[in-house]
């Protein structure tokens, strides 16, 4: 009895693969893959490797199938009505090769070449053409409003004289003698036999003799064609964005299938007036210092034309005003961004004597200090003021007060500037 138990444990499928009973399918698959590489007869010529591989294959065939695994866990066999079916290997269908194992592991052989599909021209070969890139340069305002531009591309297309077959008119392609039309060839790698596209026919399954090749494409069935296409740049497109034109790329180099796409990268020239961040626009407004103090209005450019903007008295350098919906249109939307005005105050580089005197008086009043003395003023100016007072022209109160004079002189200064 003990011996029977030992034998039973030795033949347990989980023990054969070296996994626990609660192992996941990924763990079972990983264990099988490692053991199959080690014991496959193509890679291991040692005595007993063949029998060991049969057990590994049978264990994996059972445990990789959820219904068989459930039956095995419950009854100790994948066939609850007939036991193990005659001992180890009874249901084994053959060794196959390493490509079969890789196909089970990854869902395809080594010869599929990614998205290259199946056989060649004569075998229903399906593929997808390559995408191609192009670029176009537009102005700032074209990016704002949208534009239609022409770009020149040189995609791979089917040769027109031979219809993409590579053979001259009246000639026929011949079945490849190397792969016998399969488009696949076997080669050995590290003891494994792996499929790859046939080097003789490049996986097409057929060849063309030199005398029967199309003179336009030299038998390749594909040529590059230079042409111009129209690209619609949507309003709001920004620098570095790409516009996709579906099906305008290369046709497949081999077989039949859809063409790739054309991606046009947009380069937007910077504006000399505006700055852009996303869908918002920024503009620097220079204000005379008198407008900053007293308020007023200024003309401001926008992407829609000039607008008049009111400036409140007492604005500060660096203050920011917002013009709603005066920015760039957002992509795939009717909404627009805003335009922001950055206020900069422009100061005069020189002053007349009267302007300087008034500003000094303003500075003194603002700081609470007494105004400059008459003695500090120019003799002519002091004499003129004295003459004015003697003539009864009136004091500052009679002429409207000091701040009224400041405002009046600032307005005169603005007019002079």
Compute the half-sphere exposure of residue 267: CA atoms within 13 Å on the CB side of its CA: 6
One DSSP character per residue, 339-372 reads EEEEEEEEPPS---HHHHHHHHHHHHHHHTPPPP
> Tell me: the pLDDT tens digits for 295-329?
999 999 999 999 999 999 999 999 999 999 999 99
C-alpha to C-alpha distance for 307 and 321, rounded to whole angstroms: 13
Structural tokens at position 101: 């194992």
Residue 311 CB: number of other CB atoms within 10 A? 19
Structure tokens at 102: 């890789």
Q: 93-124: per-residue pLDDT in tens?
A: 444 555 455 444 443 333 333 333 444 444 44
Nearest Cα neighbor of 41 from 31, 56, 27 is 56
pTM: 0.56
Q: What burial class does residue 356 get, using C-beta atoms within 10 Å of its C-beta: 0-12 exposed, 13-18 middle, 19+ buried? A: exposed
Residues 6+ apart with CB under 8 A from 167: 173, 208, 212, 213, 214, 219
Distance, CA of 9 to chain centre = 56
- State the pairing for strand pair 305-311/296-302: antiparallel
Q: How far is CA 31 from the centre of its chain?
A: 39
Query: What's the pLDDT at 397?
Result: 41
List of the chain residues with pLDDT < 50: 1-10, 81-95, 99, 102-125, 375-376, 378-400, 402
Count of alpha carbons within 13 angstroms of residue 101, beta-carbon side: 27
At residue 248, the pLDDT reads: 95
SS3 226: coil
Q: Cα-flanking dihedrals φ and ψ of residue 324, to 5°? A: -65, 140
Report the candidate in 2, 5, 10 with the shortest Cα–Cα distance to residue 88: 10
Q: Where are the beta strands (DSSP E) in 225-261?
A: 227-233, 242-245
């Amino acid at each position: 009895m003990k011996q029977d138990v030992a034998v039973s444990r030795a033949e347990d499928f989980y023990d054969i693969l070296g996994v626990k009973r609660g192992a996941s399918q990924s763990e079972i698959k990983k264990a099988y893959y490692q053991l199959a590489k080690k014991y496959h007869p193509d890679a291991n010529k040692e005595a007993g490797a063949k029998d060991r591989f049969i057990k590994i294959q049978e264990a994996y065939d059972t445990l990789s199938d959820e219904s068989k695994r459930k039956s095995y866990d419950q009854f100790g066999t994948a066939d609850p009505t007939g036991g193990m079916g005659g001992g180890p290997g009874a249901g084994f269908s053959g060794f196959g090769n390493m490509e079969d194992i890789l196909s089970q592991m990854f869902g395809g052989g080594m010869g599929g070449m990614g998205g290259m599909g199946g056989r060649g021209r004569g075998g229903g070969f399906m593929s997808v053409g390559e995408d191609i890139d192009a670029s176009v340069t537009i102005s700032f305002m074209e990016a704002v409003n949208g534009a239609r531009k022409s770009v020149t591309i040189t995609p791979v297309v089917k040769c027109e004289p031979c219809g993409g077959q590579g053979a001259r008119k009246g000639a026929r392609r011949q079945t490849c003698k190397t792969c016998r039309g399969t488009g696949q060839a076997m080669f050995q790698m590290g003891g494994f036999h792996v499929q790859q596209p046939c080097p003789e026919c490049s996986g097409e399954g057929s060849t063309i003799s030199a005398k029967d090749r199309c003179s336009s494409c030299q038998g390749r069935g594909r040529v590059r064609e230079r042409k111009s296409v129209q690209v619609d740049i949507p309003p709001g497109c920004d620098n570095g964005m790409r516009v996709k034109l579906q099906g305008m790329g290369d046709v497949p180099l081999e077989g039949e299938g859809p063409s790739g796409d054309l991606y046009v990268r947009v380069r937007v020239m910077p504006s000399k007036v505006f700055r852009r961040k996303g869908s918002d626009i920024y503009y620097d407004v220079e204000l005379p210092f008198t407008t900053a103090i007293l308020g007023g209005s200024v003309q401001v450019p926008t992407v829609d034309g000039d607008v008049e903007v009111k400036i409140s008295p007492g604005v500060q350098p660096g203050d920011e005003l917002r013009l709603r919906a005066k920015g760039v249109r957002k992509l795939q939307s009717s909404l627009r961004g805003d335009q922001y005005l950055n206020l900069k105050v422009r100061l005069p580089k020189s002053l007349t004597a009267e302007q300087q005197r008034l500003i000094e008086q303003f500075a003194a009043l603002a700081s609470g200090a007494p105004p400059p003395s008459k003695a500090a003023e120019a003799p002519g100016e002091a004499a003129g003021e004295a003459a004015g007072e003697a003539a009864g022209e009136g004091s500052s109160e009679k002429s409207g007060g000091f701040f009224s004079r400041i405002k009046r002189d600032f307005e005169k200064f603005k007019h002079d500037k």
